[in-house]
Amino acid sequence: MKAAARLLGSFALAGFVITGALAATATATTTPSATTTAAPTTKKPKTAMTPEKTAISKQCSTLADQKNLHGKDREKFRSACKKNGGKAPS
C-alpha cells in the first residue's frame, strides 16, 4: 500500500514538473502578433531651461507660496504667472 502511494505521488509530482516545464517553454516561444506590437514612440529630447526661464519659474513659485496656493489653483496661478513673465497675473 505504501509503495503504491509513493508511486502515485511520484507520478503526480512528475506530471506537475512536466506540465510546468511545457507551460514555461510555450509562453517563452510565443511571439505577439504584429497588430498587438506597439510602435516605438518618438519623444522630443528635453531641452534644458534657460537661466531666464528658471528665474521666472522660481519667482512664480515664490508668489504662489506667498498666496498659500496648493493643487490645481497653484498650477493655474503658476501657468498664468509664467506667461506674464514672472509677475502675478491680474
The pLDDT score that the predictor gives to residue 41 is: 76
> Is residue 88 classed as helix, strand or coil in its secondary structure?
coil
Alpha-carbon gap, residue 78 to 86, rounded angstroms: 9
pLDDT at position 55 is 94
Query: pLDDT means per 10 residues in the chain (90 residues)?
Result: 68 66 55 60 80 94 96 96 90
User: pLDDT tens-digit profile of 53-65?
Assistant: 999 999 999 999 9
Sign of the C-alpha dihedral, residues 62, 66, 68, 74? negative
Quote the pLDDT of residue 4.
67
Where are the domains positioned within the chain? Answer: 51-83
- pLDDT at residue 57, rounded to an integer: 94
User: Which pLDDT value is given to residue 79?
Assistant: 95
